[in-house]
A and B are shown apart, each in its own frame.
Chain A
């Protein structure tokens, strides 16, 4: 099970389930709704495009997104066929912030 990032447009991204966040909906709620939906549909690869606002700092929102996915998945007994969650980010700044959050939330030491 991998959590990944992609910088670009969700419409050109290849996956079997996609979820686009809406203005006025928090990142946490967007991630949870997306995960509920992919599990209900027994999807393998979920792409989430969170709606990021200036209400909270980008770094804080990226941490919230990662922690939400982590906590949600860790509280499941079965995750069906889900193999991958990819965050779709619209800019390099968003990508870098999410990458920092990814590496701190899911650290990888030696390999």
Chain B
């Protein structure tokens, strides 16, 4: 059977055909597939739902590994063994229905458990490292390894060892707690309402293109908005009118999305002296002529005159929302 078009199965709807599409249903099958690919000398790229990544255009001459069939979810008391391919929202609902608290913040978080663990996702007062107790991976050489010390996996803000060692996250054991389920439901509803209100699901996107820079004191979204990127469109790629850190795919190629992101980053640099770091992961080969630009690093050179009023606005906005938000943190 021919491999599917990646743009048909990935959330951001980019990418061509791969040479082979691998969909293991068990961890052992995945380990065997990796050993087989290594023996043939075939390169491979693992993909989750594709909600935080951009697969480059054109055909990929290697294999793409999907986790969508690793979808087991087994609840035993307060511990849940969950496959990498389980959707975050499905997980959040399932554990809510089981009367467990601690995963409300994952409601409507696009993506699957595997990707969420791999990047140590953080949003709405929750972070996956807070609740993961064990992770089973398949290494690039096809060995199955279990990590059971969170501090050895999670390096910090949206950063884990799996992002550099290449291990494929297959399964996690998550530990939740009992709690006020009305509060959990409120948190879940808040997350859903906020994301929907910001129009996040109206077109394919990869979520926030850029990470927040904690030294700046202003979210990347606010910097981008002030830099007037909301008006930017480029060959089918368009900055969301409701959230300046989101780029919608409205018939774009991966290249045009990348090019638009470069323009956005430059606009923030020119206005604020802040060099944004990509959160979006780029999969496949970046076109040679864009490589230097995409991977460039510039040391911050803050325009304090322009940043200070934004920091004050951000502080005031946080103070306004803190009473409602604080009580919902980590629910």
Which residues of A are at the interface with B, using a C-beta cutoff of 8 A?
A: 1-8, 70, 73-74, 76-82, 84, 86, 99-100, 103-104, 106-111
Contact = CB atoms under 8 A, between A and B. Distances in A.
B301 A4 contact: no
A77 B318 contact: no
A110 B198 contact: yes
Chain B: number of interface residues, binned into ranges: 35 or more
Contacts of B147: none
A19 B318 CA distance: 31
Contacts of A1: 213-216, 300
Given A2-B156, A4-B155, A110 B194 contact: yes
A108 B130 contact: no
Nearest to A86: B156
Interface stretch (B9-17, B66-74, B118-126): B118-126
Contact of B123 (A70, A86, A110): A110
Nearest to A70: B217
A77 B301 contact: yes
Interface of B is mostly: loop
A109 B214 CA distance: 13
A78 B214 contact: no
Contacts of A74: 215-217, 307, 311
Given A6-B151, A79-B299, A111 B208 contact: yes
A109 B124 contact: yes
Contacts of B124: 108-110
21 contacts: A1-B213, A1-B216, A1-B300, A2-B156, A3-B214, A5-B156, A8-B151, A73-B214, A74-B307, A78-B301, A79-B299, A80-B299, A81-B299, A103-B125, A103-B127, A104-B322, A106-B212, A107-B325, A108-B122, A111-B158, A111-B208
Interface in B152-167: 155-159
B252 to A, nearest CB: 21
Contacts of A110: 123-124, 194-195, 198, 200, 207-208, 243
B194 A109 contact: yes
A75 B59 CA distance: 48
B329 interface: yes
Nearest to B157: A2
Contact of B207 (A5, A78, A111): A111
Contact of A103 (B121, B212, B215, B329): B329
**What 9 A-B pairs come out closest when comparing CB atoms?**
A4-B156, A2-B157, A73-B215, A1-B215, A111-B123, A1-B213, A74-B217, A106-B214, A3-B214
Contacts of A103: 125, 127, 329-330
B157 A77 contact: no
Given A110-B195, A111-B123, A77 B304 contact: yes
A77 B216 CA distance: 10
Contacts of A84: 156
A66 to B, nearest CB: 10
Contacts of A111: 109, 121-123, 158, 207-208, 279
B231 to A, nearest CB: 21
B279 A79 contact: no
Interface string B103-126: 000000100000000000111110
B326 interface: yes
B200 to A, nearest CB: 7
B159 A2 contact: yes
A103 to B, nearest CB: 6
B212 A108 contact: yes
Interface string B177-201: 0000000000000000011001010
Contacts of A109: 123-124, 194, 219
A82 B302 CA distance: 14
A86 B159 CA distance: 13
Contacts of B299: 78-81
Contacts of B212: 106, 108
A48 to B, nearest CB: 13
